[in-house]
């Protein structure tokens, strides 16, 4: 530090004229007979001073330069120069890297997250009251980057804590205005609204932080309530199943019945054709015979009668001829016995 002030003193006196004290010092140095001579000391000092005049800014960073504490400029990636010996101070801020804060759960990163928050704390972060006064477990992550390094460095003390607190407050504000069902099923909507809310707050506080994304993890109900929620899902399935079974019954019976009905109708149509055709046939036959009959009525009638008998009588069973004068023969005939024997 004292070198700093020597330099300063040099500058101040330099303005008013040649510094006589300097000569004294140099003279004193000259008096010492150090090995290698005073030149080496001068060179070492010069190198030391020179080494503090340049610095590199990496590709994804910017350098914020403060001259005696006052912000003077922002430098771009590459090799940059500044005034040496702490006159100008550089703070490098990564403006491209996207950083992540996790809420309500811990991923496997072994670094900061786990150190700051115990598991008990974790569940409390995620437990939220919903608009219908139920309790939901809402874990989420916030990804952000620095968009304004000046604000980021100088406007807020303990900026990470502010980001964490604000994220929680915004998320709870959004979840507080949703029903438990919405919290579970409409996560995207919540993420979008929370992002807008959080960004607004961060801009108001001049944090220089830009929220890249808010991503909702699996929202859920607390573990003790979980089984009953699953039961509802199961009941939904059961309902579907019952309906499908009934539909199955329906589908099994109805098309078959339609076919059956079709068959009945077709059969009736067949009957109709049959009936009409037969009628027509019978009629045609009768008409044909009748036409001939008309020509010779008596003889045709006799012929028909006798032809029928000729064909019929030989086929008949026992025949008894009873004289019309013999009246008491009939009762003696044992007809039943006769038939029995025949069988």
Q: Which of residues 125-164 bind other proteins (CB under 8 A)?
A: 125, 127-135, 153-158, 161-162
Q: Are strands 99-103 and 88-94 parallel, antiparallel or unpaired?
A: unpaired
Q: Closest by alpha carbon to 170, among 112, 113, 103? A: 103
Site string for other proteins, 212-251 (x = CB under 8 A): ---------xx-xx-xxx-xx-xxx-xxxxxx-xxx-xx-
Query: Alpha-carbon Rg of the chain, whole angstroms?
Result: 57
**Position 60 contacts other proteins (CB under 8 A):** no
Task: Compute the Cα dihedral for 260, 262, 263, 269 and give only its sign.
Answer: positive
Beta bridge partners of 298: none
Q: Which is nearer to other proteins, 109 or 119 (CB)?
A: 119
The rounded distance, in Å, linking the Cα atoms of 151 and 204 is 11
Q: Which is nearer to other proteins, 141 or 221 (CB)?
A: 221
Tokens linked to 230: 């699953």
Q: Which is nearer to other proteins, 59 or 287 (CB)?
A: 287
**Taking CA 269 as the corner, what is the angle to CA 264 and CA 275, rounded to the nearest 5 degrees?**
125
* Smallest separation (angstroms) from other proteins to the CB of 110: 26
For other proteins, the binding residues in 276-315 under the rule CB under 8 A are: 276, 278-280, 282-284, 286-287, 289-290, 293, 301, 304-305, 308-309, 311-313, 315
The rounded distance, in Å, linking the Cα atoms of 162 and 130 is 23
Binding test (CB under 8 A) with other proteins, winner from 45, 261, 296, 299: 261
* Smallest separation (angstroms) from other proteins to the CB of 61: 18
Binding test (CB under 8 A) with other proteins, winner from 8, 34, 43, 45: 8
**Taking CA 68 as the corner, what is the angle to CA 63 and CA 71, rounded to the nearest 5 degrees?**
45
* Smallest separation (angstroms) from other proteins to the CB of 149: 12
For other proteins, the binding residues in 191-210 under the rule CB under 8 A are: 205-206
The rounded distance, in Å, linking the Cα atoms of 343 and 93 is 124
According to DSSP, residue 97 is labeled P
For other proteins, the binding residues in 164-183 under the rule CB under 8 A are: 165-166, 168-169, 172-173, 176-182
């Amino acid at each position: 530090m004292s070198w700093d002030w020597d330099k300063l003193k040099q500058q101040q006196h330099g303005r008013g004229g040649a510094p006589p004290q300097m000569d004294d010092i140099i003279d004193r140095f000259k008096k010492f007979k150090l090995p290698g001579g005073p030149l080496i000391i001068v060179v070492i000092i010069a190198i030391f001073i020179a080494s503090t005049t340049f610095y590199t800014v990496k590709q994804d960073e910017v350098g914020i330069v403060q001259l005696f504490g006052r912000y003077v400029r922002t430098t771009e990636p590459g090799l940059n120069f500044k005034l040496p010996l702490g006159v100008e101070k550089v703070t490098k801020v990564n403006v491209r890297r996207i950083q992540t804060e996790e809420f309500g759960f811990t991923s496997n990163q072994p670094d900061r997250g786990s150190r700051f928050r115990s598991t008990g704390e974790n569940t409390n972060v995620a437990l939220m009251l919903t608009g219908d006064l139920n309790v939901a477990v809402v874990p989420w992550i916030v990804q952000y980057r620095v968009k304004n390094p000046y604000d980021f460095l100088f406007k807020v003390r303990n900026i990470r804590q502010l980001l964490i607190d604000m994220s929680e407050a915004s998320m709870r504000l959004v979840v507080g205005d949703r029903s438990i069902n919405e919290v579970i099923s409409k996560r995207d909507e919540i993420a979008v609204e929370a992002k807008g809310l959080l960004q607004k707050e961060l801009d108001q506080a001049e944090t220089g932080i830009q929220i890249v994304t808010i991503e909702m993890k699996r929202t859920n109900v607390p573990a003790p309530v979980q089984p009953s929620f699953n039961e509802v899902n199961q009941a939904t399935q059961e309902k579907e199943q019952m309906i499908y079974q009934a539909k199955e019954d329906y589908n099994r019976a109805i098309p078959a019945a339609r076919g059956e009905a079709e068959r009945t109708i077709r059969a009736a149509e067949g009957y109709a054709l049959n009936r009409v055709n037969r009628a027509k046939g019978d009629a045609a036959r009768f008409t044909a015979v009748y036409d001939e009959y008309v020509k010779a009525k008596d003889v045709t009638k006799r012929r028909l009668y006798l032809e029928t008998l000729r064909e019929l009588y030989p086929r008949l069973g026992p025949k008894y001829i009873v004289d019309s004068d013999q009246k008491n023969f009939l009762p003696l005939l044992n007809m039943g016995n006769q038939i029995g024997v025949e069988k």
